[in-house]
Amino acid sequence: MQSRLLRRAYKIVGLTLFSLAFLVPIILGLINQEPWEQTAFRRQVANSIMLFGLLLFMLSREKVEDEFVDFCRLRAFRTALIAGVIYFLQDAFGTLGGNLVDSSFGVLIMQIAVYVVMFYVLKAGLFNGK
């Protein structure tokens, strides 16, 4: 079975993009001491690069691609999807006053984080996923 995935090297590219997009705004913020409103656009660009980096990371091949890796991937996707819906509902209706989710970035980054953690936990056999 051939999965249509990116080459393994994209894992490093994705992680590098994520790390840079995460760290650079923090460092720039510390150096320039700019108010949040002035850095909002920069933050949005950094968030997009972070998401893109994580997407590259999760869509790149593992060292050995076999049916067990596919199984782990599907389980991790399912868990991430459910976690995303729960997060959205909790955020939209959980707080007093029904505060609607205003950041799709928050939901997406949480889903990808859950996916990545779940995938490697399943792959390492730390959790049987049943």
Give the interface with another protein as residue ranges (CB under 8 A).
62-64, 66-69, 71, 123-125, 128-129
Tokens standing for residue 59: 């869509």
**Residue closer to another protein, measured from CB, 56 or 62:** 62
Q: Smaller CB distance to another protein: residue 34 or 66? A: 66
Minimum distance of another protein from residue 33's CB (angstroms): 48
Closest CA to 81 of 51, 111, 103, 120: 111
CB of 49 to another protein, least distance (A): 31
Closest CB 130 distance from another protein, rounded Å = 8
Per-residue burial over 38-70, b if 16 or more Cβ lie within 10 Å, else e, is eeeeeeeebbebbbebbbbbbebebeeeeeebe
